A and B are shown apart, each in its own frame.
Chain A
Amino acid sequence: MTAFTPISAFLGGCLIGLAAVVLMALNGRIAGISGIVQGAVEGPRGERGWRWSFVGGLVLGAVLMLAWREPGFAPRTGYPPALLIAAGLLVGIGTRLGSGCTSGHGVCGIARWSVRSIVATLAFMGTGYVTVYIARHVAGAPL
């Protein structure tokens, strides 16, 4: 369905890594986005400012990059809202219980050789694959 884009995928990954290193070098923090979003909403008052700045940066960086060059894909619309809500709830609950997501465990954690992060990444990659397999190839959902 989508084309193999090895160069842009790799370069984008390097930028993500650079972002994680910058946040550690300057602020001494892990670039774990589920934790940053959650902390921005309900963390200690004095720790919310930098988190909202990071969240704003996530949008700003995307806006600037989209203005600079073509995204290379059409934004998805018309996806079933019930699926989006179920997906969001599961991601919110799961990342809170599991203390992290793709960025915190999959990138920052594995880069530190954290056993917890390696186990968590295997778990979410595994259930991600199984979920897409069931949705597309068993249930036959046109997603």
Chain B
Amino acid sequence: MKAGLARDAAALLAGALFGAGLTVSQMINPRKVLAFLDLTGDWDPSLALTMGGALLVTAIGYRVVLRRPRPAFDAAFRVPARSEVTWRLVAGAALFGVGWGLGGYCPGPAVSAVALGTTEPWLFIAAMVAGGLLAGLLPAPHR
């Protein structure tokens, strides 16, 4: 099998597992997400367990996988090496949280929610991609 095809198939598999997880956990339901963020109201802590489960499996799995010399279909692991905390990082994450709290969608669940057949995920995704392109016009950060 050609390397490109193998990588595409692997990404499809990983994406499908991810989408299945977002559906089982109900992260694709923005009401569930907003209830998780509503600490002082009718708080639904379910999604804390979703994050816990995801972190547990990823932390253990990464430990095993990253000991290998390289991934199956590429020459090297590509893991971010930066460690400095910048204002760009903090301000960006803070803005992202405001958008998350306004709509109840973060990027993954918005894409998977397309499977529900309603129009609102499409509207959110279009605005999200536009926002990303807009932010790309800003001057690059100092490295």
Query: Which A residues fall within an 8 A CB radius of B?
Result: 1-6, 8-31, 33-34, 37-38, 41-42, 46, 49-51, 53-66, 71-73, 75-77, 79, 81, 83-103, 105-112, 114-116, 119-121, 123-133, 135-137, 143
Closest Cβ neighbor of A96 among chain B residues: B135
- B3 to chain A: closest CB distance in Å? 10
Q: Which residues of A contact B49 (CB under 8 A)?
A: 6, 9-10, 13
A-B contact pairs, 24 of them (CB 8 A): A2-B44, A14-B21, A19-B16, A20-B61, A25-B65, A27-B73, A29-B71, A53-B15, A59-B115, A61-B20, A62-B114, A71-B116, A83-B102, A88-B103, A89-B99, A89-B127, A92-B133, A95-B96, A98-B88, A103-B107, A107-B54, A112-B62, A126-B94, A128-B37
Residues B26 and A9 in contact, CB atoms below 8 Å apart: yes
Q: Which residues of B contact A116 (CB under 8 A)?
A: 80, 82-85, 89
Residues B12 and A56 in contact, CB atoms below 8 Å apart: yes
Closest Cβ neighbor of A25 among chain B residues: B65
Residues B96 and A136 in contact, CB atoms below 8 Å apart: no
Q: Classify chain B's interface size.
A: 35 or more
Residues A92 and B135 in contact, CB atoms below 8 Å apart: yes
Q: Which residues of A contact B123 (CB under 8 A)?
A: 81, 84-85, 88
Question: In the complex, A137 Cα to B131 Cα: how many Å?
Answer: 28
Question: In the complex, A109 Cα to B50 Cα: how many Å?
Answer: 16
User: Which of A6, A109, A132 is within 8 Å of B37, CB to CB?
Assistant: A132
Residues A107 and B55 in contact, CB atoms below 8 Å apart: yes
Residues B103 and A87 in contact, CB atoms below 8 Å apart: yes
Name the prevailing secondary structure of the B interface residues. Answer: helix
Q: Which residues of A contact B76 (CB under 8 A)?
A: 28
User: Which of A46, A84, A89 is within 8 Å of B131, CB to CB?
Assistant: A89
Question: In the complex, A28 Cα to B62 Cα: how many Å?
Answer: 10
- A132 to chain B: closest CB distance in Å? 4
Q: Which residues of A contact B132 (CB under 8 A)?
A: 34, 37-38, 41, 92-93, 95-96
Q: Which residues of B contact A16 (CB under 8 A)?
A: 17-18, 21-22, 25, 50, 53-54, 57
Q: Which residues of A contact B46 (CB under 8 A)?
A: 2, 4-6, 8-9
Question: In the complex, A58 Cα to B16 Cα: how many Å?
Answer: 5
Question: In the complex, A17 Cα to B57 Cα: how many Å?
Answer: 5
Residues B74 and A57 in contact, CB atoms below 8 Å apart: no
Q: Which residues of A contact B41 (CB under 8 A)?
A: 1, 132, 136-137
Residues B96 and A12 in contact, CB atoms below 8 Å apart: no
Residues B9 and A53 in contact, CB atoms below 8 Å apart: yes
